[in-house]
């Protein structure tokens, strides 16, 4: 039976595994006959326009809502604006989502990642079922949401967590609920897997440059390796404060042959058959870039975490 489904997405970009995996889910739902609408925060950046265009080509309509802060106040991302402006923005976003639910006759709301609450509130106000997809361990920078689990439970008909350690941990924290599992899906186009010949061996890190992804650890290892004839290359959007932390370390120890390429629509076009991928995440529920490296036939060194 055809359903109208509203997704609440965390960034409106394709530089993180949560977004990539759920875009693949949206595409699948469209292909199986459902109508999919996607709500994102409007940050007025070019990569979001590319994201919106990419989803439109898949048959997914994206609605960008102006937002002071889209995530919970105590979620990562700081506290932009004033307390009053954030409160007003949360209210306006929730109201806008309620309007979408009623005008478009939405059958189901899906919040992708634990970091947003507006969709859950809007769904409750309009008596629409709400599912929560959780990708993050309640530790470290995402430890804040442990105290919100009662709210998450009360405002969800179903809770899904990434299969494995995260699902087991959340099931222990929510003993009165059945926490269902899902496996994020990464899709590789046949043309992507063609070997790209490389002229030199390099160490490559693919993924958003953040404290959680822990790329500074790789830079420290590179310093200890003492082989500056081997380039170290980072591919992915940079979180400004953490990027500066990495660059300060590079400058302090006068390291050379380290390159930051920034965001790429298809980072694997930058990787060659001579490269070695290294992924240093502190906490990873499902390392999509690791899976992608294997699918591309690129050897990988992966941190041992949950």
Give per-residue pLDDT as tens, 121-176: 999 999 999 999 999 999 888 999 999 999 999 999 999 999 999 999 999 999 99
At residue 196, the pLDDT reads 66
Helices of type H across 8-82: 17-31, 46-57
Q: Is the pTM of this model over 0.95?
A: no
Which residues in the chain come in under a pLDDT of 70?
A: 188-197
At residue 188, the pLDDT reads 67
Give per-residue pLDDT as tens, 238-260: 988 999 999 999 999 999 999 99
At residue 191, the pLDDT reads 45
Nearest residue to 51 via CA among 65, 40, 66, 67: 40
At residue 47, the pLDDT reads 83
At residue 157, the pLDDT reads 97
Nearest residue to 187 via CA among 268, 261, 112: 268
Query: How far apart (Å, rounded) are the C-alpha atoms in residues 289 and 207?
Result: 7
Give the SS3 label for residue 205. Answer: strand
CB 102 within 8 A of CB 126: yes
Give whole-number Cα distances, 271 to 9, 189, 253, 257, in Å: 28, 15, 27, 16
Nearest residue to 129 via CA among 92, 101, 149: 101
Q: How many helices (H) and strands (E) does the chain have?
A: 9, 12
């Amino acid at each position: 039976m055809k359903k109208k489904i509203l997704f609440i997405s965390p960034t409106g970009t394709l530089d993180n595994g949560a977004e990539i995996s759920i875009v693949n889910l949206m595409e699948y739902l469209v292909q199986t006959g459902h109508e999919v609408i996607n709500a994102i925060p409007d940050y007025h950046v070019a990569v979001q326009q590319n994201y919106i265009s990419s989803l439109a080509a898949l048959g997914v309509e994206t609605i960008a809502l102006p937002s002071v802060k889209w995530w919970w106040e105590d979620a990562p991302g700081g506290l932009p604006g004033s307390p009053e402006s954030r409160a007003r923005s949360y209210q306006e976003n929730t109201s806008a989502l309620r309007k979408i639910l009623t005008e478009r006759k939405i059958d189901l709301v899906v919040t992708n990642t634990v970091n947003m609450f507006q969709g859950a509130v809007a769904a409750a106000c309009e008596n629409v079922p709400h599912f929560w997809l959780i990708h993050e361990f309640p530790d470290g920078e995402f430890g804040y949401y442990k105290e919100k689990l009662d709210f998450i439970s009360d405002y969800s008909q179903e809770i899904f967590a990434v299969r494995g350690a995260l699902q087991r941990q959340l099931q222990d924290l929510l003993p009165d609920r059945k926490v269902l599992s899902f496996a994020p899906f990464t899709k590789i186009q046949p043309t992507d897997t063609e070997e790209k010949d490389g002229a030199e061996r390099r160490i490559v890190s693919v993924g958003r440059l953040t404290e959680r992804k822990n790329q500074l650890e790789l830079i420290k290892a590179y310093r200890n390796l003492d082989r500056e004839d081997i380039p170290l290359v980072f591919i992915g959007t940079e979180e400004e404060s953490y990027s500066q932390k990495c660059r300060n370390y590079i400058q302090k120890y006068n390291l050379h042959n380290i390159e930051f390429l920034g965001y790429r629509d298809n980072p694997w076009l930058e990787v060659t058959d001579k490269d070695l991928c290294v992924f240093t995440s502190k906490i990873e529920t499902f390392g999509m870039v690791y899976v992608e490296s294997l699918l591309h036939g690129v050897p990988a060194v992966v941190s041992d975490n949950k």
